[in-house]
Amino acid sequence: MKTPFGTPIFYDKVLGYIDKLTPTQMIEESNSWGYDPNDLLLIADFIYLELYKLEYAAELYKKAIKDLYFPDPSPGLPDIDSAGIYATCGIVLMKLLKFEESLKYFQEAYRFDSDDYLIIYGLAVCNYKLNKLSEAQIFINKILNADEALIKTFLSDKKIKLIKDLSEKLNDNDERHWTEIEKAESFHSEAINHFSTGSYEKAIAEYKSAISIYEKKLNEMLPESLELSMDIKYKLSLAYLDLSMLYGKTKSEPHQKVISLIIKALTYNRNLPDAIQNLLYYIGYVNAFLKARRKIENNLQHIAKLYNAAYDLLKTPYPLGTAGRNWEGAINLLKEVERIAPDLPYTHHLLGLAYEGCKMDELAIDEWMNVYVLDPNFDFETRVILS
C-alpha cells in the first residue's frame, strides 16, 4: 500500500512517532518494520524538505545509508545518485551545526562525484568551521576558479557570497574579520564536539559563549531580517537544549535550572524532538504532589479556596481504590482561577501538571511556557500552601 508521497504504509507510523519518541528511539523502533532503505530515504526527504524536522531527517538518512548497498566508485565515472544521498545527509547535519559528522558524509559524497559544487561547498564550509583551514582553502579555490555560470547552476548567490567571504577571511588570517554570528557558530560547533567527547565543562563554557552572542545579535535584528532571525532562533534552541542536557548529566545545576533552559529552548522552537520529553521528565522528577509548599501571594479568599479544592483533587486518589486522580475536576477549578487572575504562575504550573496527568502533553507544555513568561525564575519544585 502506498501513500500519495510514494512511500509505504509505515510512513504514517513515522509521522506518529515524531515528537513522541526521540530520533534515536524512533530509529530503534524502525528495526521491526521490515522496511526497504530506499523507502526510508523518501520519508527522510519529506521530513527534511516539508516538515523541516532536521534531527529526525538526519537519523533516517544515516539509517538508510547504513543499510543501503553502495558500489565502489569508478574513476572518471561519477555516481550521482550515491553522491546525492551522502551529500543530503551532510547538508542536514551541517544545518544542525554538526560539522565534524557532516564532513564525513561530504567526504563520502566527494568520492562518488568530485564535480558536484554543492558537495565541494559543503567540504569548504565544514573544514573552515572545524579550523582545517588549508583543506578549506583547497575547496574554496575549486569554487572560485570554476566557471561562474556553471557554479550558479549548483549554488545560490547566498552560498557563493559566503565562499567569497570565507576566502577573504582566510587571506586576511585575522579573526577580527569574523562576524559575530560566525564566532557564535564556532563556539557552538566546539561545544558540540566537547559534548560528544565527554569534555562537559568545556562544552558548557562554549555553549554559554555561543548563546550570549546569538541573543545579542537577535536583540539587534531589524524586522526585515526575518530569515536570519529565524536561523538564530533555531540555533539558540539547539544550544539551550544541549546546555540543559549537560546540566542534567553533570548534576552541576539544580533541576529547576534544567527545566528553565528546556522551556527557553522551546520558546525559540516548539519542534525540538528531545525537548518535550526532557521537559516532561524533569517536571515529573521534581514534582511529587506532596513535597514542598509555597504561599499564595494573592490573598483573595475565593482564589485560595479554589486552589485548595483543586490541589485536594490532584493529591487525592479516587475513592473505592480506583486508580488515578480527578484531573478534569482540578482543571475546571484551576481554569476558574485563571479566569479571575490570569497572571499567577502557580495556576499555570498546576494546570500543566493536571494536563500532564490527562496525557495532554501539548497543553501541559503551553501552561509551563506561560509560567516562564510570567516568572522566568519560578521554582518548579515548590507548591502552594494549603491552609
Q: Same domain for 58 and 101?
A: no
Q: Same domain for 337 and 369?
A: yes
pLDDT value of residue 375: 77
* In a domain? residue 3: no
Q: Same domain for 132 and 199?
A: no
Q: Compute the distance between CA of residue 348 and CA of residue 29 in angstroms, rounded to an integer.
A: 34
pLDDT value of residue 61: 92
C-alpha dihedral (254, 260, 262, 265), degrees to nearest 10: -140
Tell me if 266 sits within 8 A of 369, measured CB to CB. yes
Residue type (1 letter), 220 = E
H or E, element range at 220: helix 200-220
Q: Per residue in 377-386, is it b (16+ CB within 10 Å) or e — as a string?
A: ebbbbbbbee
pLDDT value of residue 122: 95
CATH number of the domain encompassing residue 219:
1.25.40
Grid look-up 544550544 returns 239
pLDDT value of residue 91: 95
* In a domain? residue 385: no
CATH number of the domain encompassing residue 362:
1.25.40.10
Residue 8 pLDDT > 60: no
Which of residues 297 and 18 earns the better pLDDT score?
18
> Which among 177, 200, 215 is the end of a domain?
177
Number of folded domains that form the chain: 4
Q: Same domain for 357 and 319?
A: yes
* In a domain? residue 380: no
Q: Same domain for 173 and 194?
A: no
* In a domain? residue 295: no
Q: Same domain for 187 and 173?
A: no
Helix boundaries (H) for 36-116: 37-46, 54-67, 80-95, 99-112
Q: Per residue in 264-290, is it b (16+ CB within 10 Å) or e — as a string?
A: bbbebbebbbbbbbbbbebbeebbeee
Phi and psi at residue 106, to the nearest 5° = -65, -35
Which of residues 30 and 205 earns the better pLDDT score?
205
Q: Compute the distance between CA of residue 116 and CA of residue 315 in angstroms, rounded to an integer.
A: 63
Q: Same domain for 62 and 101?
A: no
Tell me if 276 sits within 8 A of 365, measured CB to CB. yes
Q: Compute the distance between CA of residue 318 and CA of residue 325 in angstroms, rounded to an integer.
A: 6
Q: Compute the distance between CA of residue 149 and CA of residue 85 in angstroms, rounded to an integer.
A: 25
Q: Compute the distance between CA of residue 5 and CA of residue 294 in angstroms, rounded to an integer.
A: 53
> Which among 224, 250, 267 is the end of a domain?
267
Q: Compute the distance between CA of residue 90 and CA of residue 100 in angstroms, rounded to an integer.
A: 10
154 Cβ neighbours under 8 A, 6+ residues apart: 116, 117, 118, 121
pLDDT value of residue 123: 96
Average pLDDT (96-114) is: 92
* In a domain? residue 232: yes
> Which among 244, 267, 290 is the end of a domain?
267
Q: Same domain for 135 and 210?
A: no
pLDDT value of residue 42: 82
* In a domain? residue 352: yes
Grid look-up 504532589 returns 289
Which of residues 218 and 61 earns the better pLDDT score?
61
Average pLDDT (266-283) is: 72
Residue 177 pLDDT > 60: no
* In a domain? residue 334: yes
Residue 143 pLDDT > 60: yes
Among 152, 132, 49, which Cα is nearest to 95's? 49
Q: Specify the length of the chain in residues.
A: 387
Q: Per residue in 113-142, is it b (16+ CB within 10 Å) or e — as a string?
A: beebbbbbbbbbbbbbbbeeeebbbebbeb
Average pLDDT (246-266) is: 83
Q: Same domain for 220 and 148?
A: no
Among 124, 117, 119, 95, which Cα is nearest to 105's? 119
Q: Same domain for 170 and 186?
A: no
Q: Which residues constitute the domain of residue 259?
A: 180-267
Q: Same domain for 138 and 192?
A: no
pLDDT value of residue 72: 80
Among 134, 224, 143, 231, which Cα is nearest to 179's? 231
pLDDT value of residue 289: 34
Residue 183 pLDDT > 80: yes
Q: How far is CA 310 from CA 324, 328, 357, 382, in A?
A: 15, 10, 13, 16
Q: Compute the distance between CA of residue 313 and CA of residue 327 in angstroms, rounded to an integer.
A: 7
Q: Same domain for 156 and 123?
A: yes
* In a domain? residue 200: yes
